[in-house]
Structure 1
């Protein structure tokens, strides 16, 4: 069987996000992998120039959280960190999913995020990001909302 490979643009985009990584599915599902990579890493990107790459990857992480795709989330979180998404941003994506996807679903993503960050040498826990406390939240909340909506 002739080896199937994604086109050069898809290969370059894939390499940028996943340096040196070869999909295990490329060996068992070469045709599907070729089609997917050409679509996801070339055709889609040709029409997504208005949205910065970091924003696209953060959106993809949020979508994977919503649908419960933990294994793919781990892979894409690595890509997101590679192109500049910060550990704080990665954690915030998961935290923001709690009211929408539920804590039971988010637990798996917290563990996955921690595993990926730890594997990359990030010391946990991250520094706290809260700017209010339980005691100041009621007073400070409306001021923040007003600032955001202005």
Structure 2
């Protein structure tokens, strides 16, 4: 097989000493996929990401597209490239707000299994920074910090029969999770962008969160790099759709 030197070396960094059985059963496929994902994508001029950021985006994208088997495989690789256990847990926890516990629960179980296999003692140190009494107030402030002052009264907006959902968004999504330590706002908005991009069908929210990323400093060029690095894991249709959303947000 014509596996490139870069692809072999990167694969070895991700999975030291591991030899996939697919090299025997599907050699032509592995030749093209590994060379693409672990050489071309990583080394495309102007599209690279710092390794730790790349793997955080990939883990979030795999949650979004429900790639639990690939997530299990990539989790130790992410740790080998510097993604800390607390960051992994925060990615999984935040995913619940964007994917729902029905889709995230298998990933939480896999995360606990892999961390335990890696000798990480659970539970990890707590990261919560709000109480049930102040979660709404601090959640609103998080929304304002990320999206702008226009979010100050958003939790009270909308028809009376559905207004509670906007309040839940403030106190649960942002008050319970965005306020946690372990990840900063820029990282949280990046992984949210990946959750939405990978699951598809969330274009209005994706445009909004692309704009929020840009407001925080994750500019259009950065988001295109994120899309590029996640493309092997989520495919071309969703990657092209999210690129359109980024361009709309930039306008």
TM beyond 0.5: yes
The SS at the match of 1:81 is: helix
Deviation at 1:114, TM superposition (A): 0.4
C-alpha RMSD of matched pairs (Å): 1.7
* Count of paired positions: 147
The two structures have a TM-score, normalised by structure 2, of: 0.55
Deviation at 1:138, TM superposition (A): 2.7
Cα deviation code 1:3-24 (max 9, x no counterpart): x251101101111111111112
Structure with the larger RCO, 1 or 2 (CA within 8 Å, 6+ apart): 2
Report if aligned partners of 2:42, 2:48 keep a CA contact under 8 Å in 1.
Answer: no
Partners of 2:141 and 2:99 in 1: how far apart? Answer: 28
Does residue 78 of structure 2 align to residue 46 of structure 1? Answer: no
Deviation at 1:147, TM superposition (A): 5.1
The two structures have a TM-score, normalised by structure 1, of: 0.89
Which residue of the other structure, out of 15, 19, 33, is the alignment partner of 2:12? Answer: 15
Partners of 1:82 and 1:148 in 2: how far apart? Answer: 31
Provide the residue aligned with 1:89 in structure 2. Answer: 87
The change in CA–CA distance for 1:5 and 1:115 in structure 2 (over 3 A counts) is farther
Which residue of the other structure, out of 56, 59, 69, is the alignment partner of 1:61? Answer: 59
Structure 1: 4+ residue segments shifted above 3 A: 139-150
48-57 or 14-23, which deviates more: 48-57
Partners of 2:31 and 2:24 in 1: how far apart? Answer: 11
Deviation at 1:99, TM superposition (A): 1.8
Cα deviation code 1:14-60 (max 9, x no counterpart): 11111111112111111111111100000001126542111111111
Provide the residue aligned with 1:113 in structure 2. Answer: 111
Deviation at 1:136, TM superposition (A): 2.1
The SS at the match of 1:37 is: helix
Provide the residue aligned with 2:72 in structure 1. Answer: 74
The change in CA–CA distance for 1:66 and 1:143 in structure 2 (over 3 A counts) is closer
Partners of 2:24 and 2:48 in 1: how far apart? Answer: 34
Report if aligned partners of 2:116, 2:122 keep a CA contact under 8 Å in 1.
Answer: yes
The SS at the match of 2:3 is: coil
Q: More helix by proportion, 1 or 2?
A: 2
Report if aligned partners of 1:5, 1:30 keep a CA contact under 8 Å in 2.
Answer: no
